Every structure is written in C-alpha cells, then in structure tokens.
Structure 1
Amino acid sequence: MRLVLITDVYPPLRSSGAVQLRDLSIEFVRQGHDITVLVASPDLSEPWTIESWNGVRVMRVRTPKTKDVGYIRRTIGELLMPFYMRHQLKQSPLKNEAWEGVVWYSPTIFLGPIAKFLKTANKCRSYLVIRDIFPEWAVDMGLMGRGLPYLFFKTVAKYQYAAADVIGIQTQGNSVYFSSWLSRYSRRLEVLQNWLADSLVCGCRISVRDTKLAGRKIFVYAGNMGVAQGMDVLLNLACLLQNRSDVGFVFVGRGSDAKRLRLDAQERGLNNVLFFDEIEPDEIPGLYSQCHVGLVALDPRHKTHNIPGKFLSYMQSGLPVLASVNAGNDIVDLIRSARVGRVCTSDSMDILRSNAEQLIEELDSDSGFSPRCKQLADRVFAPSTAVRQIVAALRS
C-alpha cells in the first residue's frame, strides 16, 4: 500500500514516540509498502524538505514551535500546526501525491485536521494510533479541572477521533473512553500493542563501572521525567535503600521534572543515585547491558491505562522490571502473568521497598528472568505485528 504517516515526533528527536515511529516506518518498508512520513518540524529553516532514510521517504514541514515552550504558546502552536502542514504540503512536490491510507500518531491530539484533509483528498481509510488519553489523564493528575480548557481540549480530541475509521488503543482498559465514538460513528476500535524493533548493543557513553555505583545491582530508568511519571516515588525508594551498598539507581533522560529531581537527590545526599542527560536511542541497549532492573513509574492518580515505551525496551533487553503504577492498570496483569518483575499499585513505600528487595534476591535465584522478558517482547511487542494489523484495518 501507499501510505502516509503523520506525526510531530521523529528522529533525530530521541523520545520514545520518535523511536517507535522510526521502527514502524522501517517495518512498513520491510513488508513491501510505500511509506511517506509527514513530520511537523518547528526548527526547519525552509518550508519543507524531503529525504530518504532506510527506504522511508520523510517529508519535514515547518510548523510553529511546540516543544520546550510555555503551555499557552504550546497550545497555540499545536492548534496551528496541522494547518501549517497542509499549507506547506500544498506548496511541495508531493502536493498531488496519491495515498491509499492515512495513519497518524497521538499524542499530539491536534493532527485531526491534516489527517481528515488527506483522507478526504485521497478517498481512503484512516487509522489513528493513540498512546495516551488526553485531556482525561491531565484531569486525573489535577493539572486541569473540567472547565473551559478541558472542554477545548476535549473538543479537539473528539475532532481527531471523528477523522479516524479505526482507532488503535494501547490496552483494552482504555476502550471505556471511546464508547460514544463507537456508537456515533459505527467504526472500529482495537487494541494495538506498543512495539519496538530489535536493537544491537553498540556501546554507550555511560559507563557504570567507572562510577561510584560500580559492582552494584543497578536499577535503571531511561526516558521522560515529567509530571505523568510521578518519579518522586523512585527517589524515595533510593533513599530507603541507601544503606545497601549492593544497590544503585541510574536515571537517564530529560523532562519537566528532571532538574527538580536532580536537586532533590543532591539535597537528600543520596550517594546511591546518578543522573545523566538524555542519550541517543541506539545507546539504550548498551546502557541496559550494564544494568539489572528496569524502573517503571506512573503517577497513581492516573485512571487511564498505559504500557510505557520504556517497558518494551526493558523487555527487549532482558531486564526484569520494578513498577509503581496506578491500580487497575493493564500492565499489572501483564507483568505478573508473564513473570517479568514486580509491580506495586499501593502508595506504601514499605511495600515498594519489599518488592525491590525480593526482586534483588530473585535475580540471583531465577535465571529465567531474561529469557521470559525477551520472549514477551518477541511475542507481543514486535513492529511486524503492528504493521500487519494496521494494514489489515486499512484494507478492510
């Protein structure tokens, strides 16, 4: 099929979404499809660029800045983004391009207008890959009430849903948020698992053995450090385990809470914790090869279900997980049934510490952890499965 994939995250960005879409687009090519990735690129100096990368045609179009800016400026930028994309596309050599299917990725919730435009222009089906439920999670977190801002974002999200023939959600638990969409539009909702391609271990600029944590069992967190993650619980855990000279914590990434968390660790005098800036996605396997347990944290106020991209990367590298997540999240049963780690849904630090210490003991007694993690990644989270599912939905 000739497909267009619309997004505002793609390499060289290092976010988990950018890595996922890189892997997805390459897998489309591997399965014989013609894929064009249409990327909103605020830092572009010209209206548009077209490049070929691993067989994928990537068209970047200049749009307003939406990352690392204030909330108001970000909202305005994201609102204008799809209209800038449409304008730049119509001025480009691809203005008369014909596609057989439109796929787009959320977050952001603001790509509905460009997706609907391309769907209508090409008289084809559309597939929305949705990875979080906004603005619902922001309400759960107390970041906004149900006033005018919520109603605005909810209207934008509904417009996006209306543009989709099929919506792929992360877990079955999130289906409750789409009952009105299903009844109104008689369209298709399905679970589309997250995905991550195999990566070779090709080195990493971080060398744990050259730090004060050398020789310890390393708990690692690599990814976004923002409000949604609720990472204070992980620093609290490090504090509780500070008396153990065999355990260390490594945090790698960026985000709205990254600086605050670093300062907090320094003020507490946590000598079992190290922070590092964000690294290239291709360095992640090299980092994990030096570690023993992957950390997952989601703020307990969440009511939506989420299987973070970092969880997939841990599984792929054979790292069991220690997770602190909201009660009822589908990832709880997944971790327990696949026996790939320990998970806590309580706000009790004693329970989380107990889980951590039990997991440390099991690392030495259970040699099956790594194989089970890798088997889960291969069975459930392969890009090939995601591509076949999306194509089948667009052809149906």
Structure 2
Amino acid sequence: MAEIKKVIFLGLGFPNVEKRNFLYSWLMLEFKRQGHDVLVLTADDNRKHSEVLMEGGLKVLRVPSTSLFGSNKLVKGISNVMLPYLYKRALKKHNIAMDFDLILMPTPPITLIDVVLWIKKKSNGKLYLILRDIFPQNAVDLKMMKPKGFIHSFFRKKEIKLYQASDYIGCMSKANVDYVKKHNAYLNPQKLHLLPNWAELAEIDYADPNATKAQFGLEGKIIAIFGGNMGKPQKLENIINLAKECQDLEDLVFFMVGRGTEKPRIAKMVKDFGLTNVIIKDSLPKEEYNNLLSLADIGLISLSQDFTIPNYPSKVLSYYMFKKPVLASVDINTDFGTDQERIQCGLWSEAGDIDAFKKNMMKLYKDENLRKQLGENGYQYVTQNLTTEIAYKTIMSQLSQ
C-alpha cells in the first residue's frame, strides 16, 4: 500500500506524555519517532473548550466531554454515545485536514465507530483496530447487561459495524483471535492477527534504586502486590479470600493499589474479615508505585470466573519489567494462564479455587530462588517479544501486506 505518513489515533483518555505514559502513549510516541505525522484525538472531562496542543512532541486535540469514567452507568453510557459527535465537531472546528493514511482505534469504546467511518470516508485511510475489549459480551458476562435486550442489541450492532469497517484487527492473544472468528462468522478472518500488549522498558528508570521496604513500613515482609483497576472484571474477592487463608503467615502482606467501582466493597470485606495482612491504597504517583513494585516479591493477577471472553490483563507487563513472578487466579476461557506456563514466569489457578490459589502462593512464598527465576523469565520475555517497537513493527507489517 501507499506510504503511511499521517496517522490519527482516537481513544477515550490520553495523559499528557510530559507527565505520564501508558500503553497507547508509548505507541504514539513510537510512531512519532519513526517519522509519522501523528494526531491524537482524546476526550478530556476537565476541559471546557476543545484545543490542539503540543505535548512532548505529540499533537493532541483535546475535546471536552461529560464523565466517561466513574460509577454512574447512565452518565458513562450517554457520554460514550455522545463522544463521536463531539469528536467530529472538534475536528471541523479546528479545520483538521481529513487526509490520514492510517486510523488507529483501540477498544474500548466501540461507539467511536461513527466518527471513525466519517474520517475513513473523507481521508480514504486504512482503519487498524486495536482490540483490547470484547464489548458488549464482557458486560453480559459480568451481568451488567441483559443478553439480547435493547441495549445489548444496540451495542452489538456497533460492534459488528466496527469489525466490518476495520481493515486490520490486532488481538491480544490467540484465544482472542479464535473467539472473534467463532462469534463473527461474517468476518474475513484474514483481518485478524496477533498484537500482544506492549511495554516501554524505560519505565523502569522511574524507580528509585535506593528505595527500601522501611519507607513503606514493610520491613521483613514478603510483599504480594496488586496494582490497577479495582472493578468487577478483576473479581478481587479472589485475592481477599487468599489473604484470609494466609493470615497465619505473619511476614506475608497483600498490598493493593488502585481505584475502581469495587474498591469500597473490597475494603469492607477486609474490615469485616478483620484482615491485618491487607493494605489498600489509592493510585500512587508513578515513581512511588514503581518504587513499591521494585521492592515487591510477587505480582498478583485476578479475573472473574464468569468471563466467556478471553481477557488478558495488561498490568502483567509491569510485573515482567520489574522481574516479579506472577501469581494468577483467572477464568478458564483466557489463555493467560497457559501463557504463564509457556513463558515459565508464574503460576496460575482457576478463579474461585482458593485452595489451588493458596497452594501456588505457598510455592512462591517458600522458594525465593523460584521467585527470582520466574521473574527473570518474564523480564526476558518482555524484552524479546513485547516492546513498543515490536508492536509498531507488527502493525506496519500488516499494512504492507
């Protein structure tokens, strides 16, 4: 195909890269480093007027929106439905030329399909879908939406429309590729390929090598850390029940960092159980979290056993980067657990099986050498297979076919 010069990325939220980075900012910075003209289009519910800004070398069009996050489902739903109209209006207002060669869109959300189709028609660019969320089925799995009801049908039509419009679809894992093929028979399977999550190894530089457990009041403790969203998909009861079963291990502490709709309920469980081996904190500054992560001994992953879709937790990348062995409790439909076996970087058990979860915890708790070896294996895997540059090359290789 023709040379890829101009690229637009559409997403929900996008931090100022001068202050913080995440999965997609790493990718867009890589596109910029590779010589592409990049525009990021993102919502910003702290802004009253849309504005084009230069942030760390990236051109970013920030569009005011109502709340896209939080616990109010109705407000979130309306905000997501309105977003494509707000994006289209902002593009027109700022006279953004519709001459993009490549349109990058991750899920969530699927509702951006309408503005994406408008951009695609105007620019004749190719649409690359970064599939990270199979919606609305994940909402059905978590009983947040009734199957085949009006709302489900509305979003399912959007999903089908998005898949059909996409020229390429990058999936997190092989199980994701297989799932989309199985449940979307109309779709050309040649569109689908593997695009695993990626990491920027420079993030490790944000940890203080002189940080000590004493700074966090964790002297003499083995730390099992969970960092990230605390919502229904994570089913954090798995971790709390494990902590309950491990109360007799006085030097083992479960440190949970993050925010989410389930955090108050999880905190109440800790209080009701009288657990003294669980610490729950709000999201920490990046440097402070990385300091804590560098001192931790075990990285925790938890997913709901109700999932029929193959979720794949991106937070594991930070565990890999900081050489932490992974202890996971996940559903049987994801291939995350079997990947841990293949990479030999962690242990996993089926979500809800606390006995098996504890058995794996005891293996790691008792064997420091095992922890170090699994952590090293994860680090080697991410450096050889999951860097941002590799993700960029995967995308570009698809475009050249």
> What TM-score bracket applies, with the shorter chain setting the length?
over 0.9
Residues 184/291 of structure 1: CA separation in 2 closer, same or farther (3 Å cut): closer
Q: Indicate which of 225, 249, 261 corresponds to 2:230.
A: 225
Separation (CA, whole Å) in 2 of partners of 1:281 and 1:103? 26
The residue that corresponds to 2:303 in the other structure is 298
Give the superposition deviation at 1:105: 1.1
Q: Which amino acid aligns with 2:155?
A: F
Separation (CA, whole Å) in 2 of partners of 1:346 and 1:65? 32
The residue that corresponds to 1:257 in the other structure is 262
Residues 89/267 of structure 1: CA separation in 2 closer, same or farther (3 Å cut): same
The residue that corresponds to 2:145 in the other structure is 144
Secondary structure in 1 aligned to 2:129? strand
Contact 2:227–2:258 (CA<8 Å) still a contact in 1?
A: yes
Separation (CA, whole Å) in 2 of partners of 1:345 and 1:186? 30
1:197 aligns with 2:200: yes
Contact 1:218–1:250 (CA<8 Å) still a contact in 2?
A: yes
1:165 aligns with 2:170: no
Give the superposition deviation at 1:42: 2.4
Q: Which amino acid aligns with 1:27?
A: E
Extract unaligned runs of 5+ from structure 1: none
Contact 2:71–2:261 (CA<8 Å) still a contact in 1?
A: no
Give the superposition deviation at 1:69: 5.1
Separation (CA, whole Å) in 1 of partners of 2:117 and 2:128? 11
The residue that corresponds to 1:32 in the other structure is 35
Give the superposition deviation at 1:290: 1.4
In the alignment of these two chains, the number of paired residues is 390
Give the superposition deviation at 1:173: 1.1
The residue that corresponds to 2:322 in the other structure is 317
Contact 1:63–1:85 (CA<8 Å) still a contact in 2?
A: no
What is the root-mean-square deviation in Å for CA atoms of aligned residues? 2.1
Secondary structure in 1 aligned to 2:284? coil
Once the two structures are superposed, residues 80-136 of structure 1 have per-residue CA deviations (whole angstroms, 9 ceiling, x without a partner) of 101110011101042x25211101111111110111111111111110101011111
Q: Which amino acid aligns with 2:283?
A: E
Separation (CA, whole Å) in 2 of partners of 1:232 and 1:338? 27
Separation (CA, whole Å) in 2 of partners of 1:186 and 1:194? 21
Q: What's the TM-score, normalizing by structure 2?
A: 0.91
Contact 1:101–1:394 (CA<8 Å) still a contact in 2?
A: no
Q: What's the TM-score, normalizing by structure 1?
A: 0.92
1:110 aligns with 2:95: no
Contact 1:208–1:214 (CA<8 Å) still a contact in 2?
A: yes
Contact 1:193–1:381 (CA<8 Å) still a contact in 2?
A: yes
Relative to structure 2, which stretch is displaced further, 331-340 or 26-35?
Answer: 26-35
Separation (CA, whole Å) in 2 of partners of 1:233 and 1:184? 36
Give the superposition deviation at 1:228: 0.7
Residues 186/224 of structure 1: CA separation in 2 closer, same or farther (3 Å cut): closer
- 1:1-396 alignment to 2 at 5 Å? 1-12=5-16, 19-46=22-49, 48-68=50-70, 70-94=72-96, 96-146=97-147, 147-175=149-177, 176-179=179-182, 181=184, 183-184=186-187, 188-198=191-201, 199-203=203-207, 208-345=213-350, 347-365=352-370, 367-396=372-401
Contact 1:306–1:329 (CA<8 Å) still a contact in 2?
A: yes
Once the two structures are superposed, residues 220-256 of structure 1 have per-residue CA deviations (whole angstroms, 9 ceiling, x without a partner) of 0000000011001100111111111121110000000
Separation (CA, whole Å) in 1 of partners of 2:297 and 2:337? 20
Residues 23/280 of structure 1: CA separation in 2 closer, same or farther (3 Å cut): farther
Separation (CA, whole Å) in 2 of partners of 1:233 and 1:70? 25
Residues 245/305 of structure 1: CA separation in 2 closer, same or farther (3 Å cut): same
Separation (CA, whole Å) in 1 of partners of 2:193 and 2:113? 19
Contact 2:80–2:111 (CA<8 Å) still a contact in 1?
A: yes
Give the superposition deviation at 1:296: 0.3
Secondary structure in 1 aligned to 2:40? strand
Once the two structures are superposed, residues 15-66 of structure 1 have per-residue CA deviations (whole angstroms, 9 ceiling, x without a partner) of x9x71011111111222222111112222111x2122223221111123332
Once the two structures are superposed, residues 315-343 of structure 1 have per-residue CA deviations (whole angstroms, 9 ceiling, x without a partner) of 11111110000014211111011111110
Q: Which amino acid aligns with 1:40?
A: A
Contact 1:3–1:36 (CA<8 Å) still a contact in 2?
A: yes
